[in-house]
Structures are given as C-alpha cells and as structure tokens.
Amino acid sequence: MASLLKSLLSSRATVFTSAFLLRAILLVYGIYQDSVSALKYTDIDYYVFTDAARAVSRHSSPYDRATYRYTPLLAWILLPTSWGGLWFHFGKTLFALSDLIAGWLILRLLKRQGLEEQRALQYAAVWLLNPMVANISTRGSSEGLLCVLVMALLWAFETKKTILSGLLLGMCVHFKIYPFIYGASMLWALETPSANPSATNLLQPVVHFINRSRILLLLTSISTFTALNLLMYKIYDFPFLQHTFLHHLTRIDHRHNFSPYNTLLYLSSAQSANPTLAHLRSSISFESFAFIPQLLLSTILIPIGLAKRDLPTTMLAQTLAFVTFNKVCTSQYFLWYLIFLPLYLPNSSLLARPSLGLTALALWVLGQAIWLQQGYQLEFLGRSSFVPGLFAASLAFFGINCWILGLVVGDVVDRSPSSTATTNAQRGTKSSSPTTATGTGATASVSELKARPPRDRPRGNASIDTSGIANVHLGPRDRVLKSN
C-alpha cells in the first residue's frame, strides 16, 4: 500500500490525472444521484447560480433570483448553464477544473520554497486528492474559482509582481469580500527601507513605511475593486450593492451553520411577543458586533505578528481566524483556508510531531461529525436540537479551530531567525542580519566571515548563527559543512 501511494505521488502526470479522475467520477455520480434520489448531490447554491445565469440570458438581473448574493460576474461566467441538457453541469465542471489549476499554482509556490518536485507533489496532493475539496467543487460550489484567484495573488506577490498583485487582490475582494484581509498582510510583508538610527524625527518610520511598492499595491487594488463595482452598479443599480455587499452586514443564516453564533441567529430571527424586548433587540443587534474579534485578529494582530516571517502561513492563520469567528460558517468556507494547507505543512509541527497532527485532524473531523449528527436530527427528523445539541457542538468545533489556530500561529512565532532568513533568501529578499561566531564574541556580515583567513574563522565546536546564509547544511555538533 505504501509503495502504491509513493508511486502515485512520484509523477506530476499521475497526481493530476488522479485528481481529474476523482472529480470526473464524483461529477458523474452526482448526476446519477440527482436523478434517482430525493437527497440531491448538487448543492442548493448551484441552483441559485444557474437560475441567476438564466435570468441574465433573458436580459434580466441576476438579483431577480431570490437569495442570489454574489457578483454578477459569476452569473455571466455560468451563462452556458442556461443552454439546457448537459450544459447545466458546465459550472460544476468549471469549478472542478479550477481545483486543478489551483493545485498547479500550489505546486509552483512549493517549488519556490525550495522543495524538490516529488516532495512538492506530495504536499500539493493534500489539495488535489482531497475528497472533501473534490466533493464541494463537484456539488457546484464556486469556491474553486476563488481559490485560483487567491493562489494567483500569492504567486504574483511572491514573485514581486506588485501591479498584478493589486489587480488580483481587487478582483478577489470583488468576487468575495473576505480576501481584503490579505491586503493587510501583503502591505506589512513588503520590505521597508532601513531608517537612520540616529534620527530623532518620530515621523521617519511612517515615512519609510509609505514607500513606492505599498502605494502601488494599494492604488492598484483599490482602483480595480472600484472599477468593477462601478461597472456592476451602472448595470444593476442599487440591488447590486444591497445583495453583494450590504446584505452580509446584517445577514441571519441559522441553517447549515457551524458557527457558535448559529443558535443566537436562530433566536434573533424570531419575533418577540414582548414589545420592550422587541425594541431592545432591534436597537442592539449583536450581528454588528460579531465582526469585532474577527477583524481584530485577521486584519491587525495576525498580520503584524506574522506577515514578515511567513506570508503563506500568515494568510492561512488569517483565513482560519476569519472563518472560525465568522457569524456564518459552512463547509464551503473550509476551502478558504485548506488551500493554504500544503504551503504550511512542510515546516509545521503537525508533521514534525505526527501524533499532534493526527490529533488535530481527528478532532477537526470529529467536531464536524458531531455537529452534522445534530443537524441531521433537526433537518431530516424534525427534532428541535438547537439547545443544547447544536449549540454545544458549535462551541466544541469553535474551540477545536481556535486550538488549531494557536498551533499555526505558534509555528511561525517559534520559528528560528535562521529559517526565516532562509525563506526570505529563497523568495529573493535580502537579510541584513549579522553573523555571530559564538565563543569568539565577534560579529560580522556573511561576506566578511567568508573573507576571513581560516585561522580567524570559528573553530572546533564553535557554532555559527546562520541567519544570513541561504542554504546551510549542518554536520555533527552543528558545524557548517556547506553554504551557498
């Protein structure tokens, strides 16, 4: 079994062919299940998408379809679904193929981190061969398209294509609101010119922070986002703003919702018989305050603390925090952070300590299973399981995700300066950290250390802080054997 798995992950063609076949099988099975079972394989949202596309084909507004809360671009892209017959499944096929494109971008990013082809394929397979990812896409969720945009955004930023990064960021935020959180990390991760340490002007750090790259990224992303929104507003007027953006500020969705706010949303949706309570509820809406911890973590604390160390893992932590603390959380939202998992795993404690990784995986799956069992009681058996069942299950799953978030953040915080410098070097950034020869008390740059004659270099068991060296191979007693 192990040899079969190893051979499966040894070739790019094998991995991508397997990923394609997995989605093709699920797509065909879904068509069959829809035709014979009352329990449909196709996600209810896909019917919303296709109804909106049909409205567009009749030169109407996609917002004529109740509950369509997305950009009109999605309905435009899915226009072929209105042609009838097998074309109805065009969107599912497109979303499944988007998974493969996202996987290809993941592979490129992993190789940029210095991983060899075969090892990079093994991590990319975490996304490509993930049955949960394949299931969600083939059921008709559009998250695959968004994941392609997000991975393209990360690739453009890592390869220092600032204008392209801004364009993609603007497109991502127009497509779905949440990717705006990545703007904070990207702005913080950009290099800042060193300030004069002898200067006493308190504004100097601010002046150095506002550099050309940051201004270019900010202007490009805002311009793209604004242009797309103005175009859609001109065509569809206020319904576009209401359904695509404003609706999410006061959204109440207590079905299929893993969030601990689930039960509170259910209670909030009911009308109170007491006029005083009804007035209090209408004047103080907790839905508006739910954004505070969510945005504090995902747009301020996590970016400032982690972005300069490891941007992909920072984006994973941001997204996990955003989804975990969101007042609405469905299975599709899990793909928002699972797309970053292959980029995080190579240097994670989840793999360094297999027991920890297996525990995290088991708890994450178990938390969903418990919630789904309670949801089944409610949805299919008609039993009121909101309290304590669903509420307790939501709190448990929330706690599990918070614990996993702590592991992810801890992995970046605990990472040594040398590994951070190595990562920066692989991304093409320069490290100005000095090299210290422990035991001699001497501090020198890497170039100075290389220029020293042998007698002046650290000898014996002296260790070297390798924060300024790109690729270091350590032998017994941490002696440097080779550096490039």
**Residue by residue, what is the 3-state secondary structure of the chain?**
CHHHHHHHCCCHHHHHHHHHHHHHHHHHHHHHHHHHCCCCCCCHHHHHHHHHHHHHHCCCCHHHCCCCCCCHHHHHHCHHHHHCHHHHHHHHHHHHHHHHHHHHHHHHHHHHCCCCHHHHHHHHHHHHCCHHHHHHHHCCCCHHHHHHHHHHHHHHHHCCCHHHHHHHHHHHHHHCCCCHHHHHHHHHHCCCCCCCCCCCCCCHHHHHHCCHHHHHHHHHHHHHHHHHHHHHHHHHCHHHHHHHCHHHHCCCCCCCCCCCCHHHHHHHCCCCCCHHHHHHHHHCCHHHHCHHHHHHHHHHHHHHHHCCCCHHHHHHHHHHHHHHCCCCCCHHHHHHHHCCHHHHHHHCHHHHCHHHHHHHHHHHHHHHHHHHHHHHHHHCCCCCCHHHHHHHHHHHHHHHHHHHHHHHHHHHHCCCHHHHHHHHHHCCCCCCCCEEECCCCEEECHHHHHHCCHHHCCCCCCCECCCCCCCEEECHHHCEEEEC
pTM beyond 0.85: no
Is 292 within the bounds of a domain? no
Rounded mean pLDDT, 366-395 = 84
CA dist 103 and 215 (Å) reads: 31
Domain that holds residue 99: 1-193+208-243
Contacts of 192-199 with CB under 8 Å at 24 or more apart are 194/432
pLDDT at 19: 96
* 428 belongs to a structural domain: no
- pLDDT on residue 265: 72
Query: How far is 185 from 318, CA to CA, in rounded Å?
Result: 9
pLDDT reading at 197 higher than 80: no
CB 177 within 8 A of CB 331: no
CA angle, corner 273, sides to 270 and 274, nearest 5? 120
Of the listed ranges 64-78, 241-255, 286-300, 337-351, the least confidently predicted one is: 241-255
Question: How many percent of the chain have pLDDT more than 70?
Answer: 76
Give the chain's domain count. 1
* Confidence tier at 125 by pLDDT (50, 70, 90): very high
Q: How far apart are CA 419 and CA 426, in angstroms?
A: 11
Task: Quick: pLDDT tens for 241-277.
Answer: 988 888 877 666 656 688 888 777 777 666 555 555 4
CB-based contact 190:308 (threshold 8 Å):
no
Tell me what pLDDT residue 270 has: 61
The tokens for 175 are 């497509």
| pLDDT grade for 476, boundaries at 50, 70 and 90 | very low
In the predicted model, is pLDDT for residue 32 greater than 80?
Answer: yes
**pLDDT exceeds 50 at position 458:** no
At which residue do the structure tokens 């509170």 appear? 264
Average pLDDT score, the chain: 82
pLDDT band at 473 (very low <50, low <70, confident <90, very high): very low
The total number of residues shown for the chain amounts to 484
Residues 6+ apart with CB under 8 A from 11: 121
What is the C-alpha separation between 40 and 162, in angstroms, rounded? 44
In angstroms, rounded to a whole number, what is the distance separating the alpha carbons of residues 94 and 164? 23
For residue 166, being part of any structural domain is answered with yes
- Alpha carbon of residue 65 to chain centroid: 29
- Residue 410 located in a structural domain: no
Angle at 243 between CA 240 and CA 248, to 5 degrees: 135
Examine residue 446 and state whether it is found in any structural domain, yes or no. Answer: no
Q: What is the pLDDT of residues 126-172, one digit of tens each?
A: 999 999 999 999 999 999 999 999 999 999 999 999 999 999 999 99
- The residue ranking higher by pLDDT, 2 or 23, is 23
Comparison of pLDDT for 180 and 4, the residue scoring more: 180
The pLDDT tens digits for 307-359 are 999 999 999 999 999 999 998 888 899 999 999 999 999 999 999 999 999 99
Q: Which residue has the higher pLDDT, 272 or 106?
A: 106
Helix 354-379, helix 391-413: angle, nearest 10: 160
Give the C-alpha separation, 458 to 448, whole Å: 13
CA distances from 48 to 2, 78, 242, 460 (A): 43, 11, 17, 70
Is 439 domain-assigned?
no
Angstrom distance (rounded) from CA 175 to CA 224? 12
Residues with Cβ within 8 Å of 484's Cβ and at least 6 positions away in sequence, in order, are 469, 470, 471
pLDDT confidence bin for 448, thresholds 50/70/90: very low
> Pick the residue with more confidence: 197 or 18?
18
Q: Does 36 fall in a domain?
A: yes
Query: Is 231 part of any domain?
Result: yes
